[in-house]
Structure 1
Amino acid sequence: MTVYVDNARIPARMGRITARWSHLTADTVEELNEFAVRLGLLPEWFQTCKRPCHSRLPCTHWHFDVVDAKRDEAIRAGAKAIDIREMGAITSARRQALLAGEGR
């Protein structure tokens, strides 16, 4: 199992924080949440769709947004640094696995 953090570094203001934000995800939601706790991320910061994505499929792009300092901390803690395009490939693979499981 692997935890990933991309290099999106999207400039944005979230609440009081203006920073560059990237995405932290993992092979499983459970692994992601366990890793997030170790980084000090709050469970309510977990992001997923409130309704099914891509018609009736469950969300495949669940993640935490992290600022550069947390991104660096995640890498030091063992997360694999990836390119934003790889993040897209990960979510695509999740969607394909769901479709395959439905017999499509």
Structure 2
Amino acid sequence: MTVYVDNFRAPARVGSVSGRWSHLTADTVEELNEFAARLGLRTEWFQTCKRKCHSTLPCVHWHYDVTDKYRSAAIEAGAKPIDIREMGALTSARRKALLAGEGR
């Protein structure tokens, strides 16, 4: 299994933190949360949809938003750096796998 961090680096201010933000995700939610804990990320920073994706599926967009500081730390800890388009491909693959599991 793999943890990924994209190169989105969108400038934003979140609360008192200004920086460039990217997305940290993994092959499984469990792996993502374990990796995030090792980086010192708070579990309340985990993001997922508030409702079902596409009305019937669980959310496939789960991730942590991370500043460049945490992005660099994630890469040093073994996360695979990916392009933002690859992040889209990961969520699409998750959706397809869920659909396949439902017999669609």
How would you bin the TM-score normalised by the shorter chain? Answer: over 0.9
SS where residue 87 of structure 1 aligns?
helix
Q: Which consecutive unaligned segments of at least 5 residues does structure 1 have?
A: none
1:4 aligned partner: 4
Are positions 1:52 and 2:46 aligned together?
A: no
| Aligned-residue CA RMSD (Å) | 0.4
Q: Which residues of 2 match residues 32-51 of structure 1 at below 5 A? A: 32-51=32-51
With the length of structure 1 as denominator, give the TM-score of the two structures: 0.99
Tell me which residue corresponds to 1:13: 13
Task: Give the C-alpha shift of residue 50 in structure 1.
Answer: 1.3
Are positions 1:102 and 2:84 aligned together? no
CA apart distance, 1:46: 0.1
Matched-pair identity in %: 78
Q: CA-to-partner distance for each residue in 1:37-82, whole Å, 9 max, x for gaps?
A: 0000000000001110112100001000000010000000000000
Distance in 2, Cα, partners of 1:54 & 1:16: 33
Structure 2 alignment gaps of length 5 or more: none
What letter is aligned with 1:87?
M
Q: What is the correspondence of 1:13-32 to structure 2 with a 5 Å cutoff?
A: 13-32=13-32
CA distance in 2 between counterparts of 1:94 and 1:22 reads 19
- Output the TM-score relative to the length of structure 2: 0.99
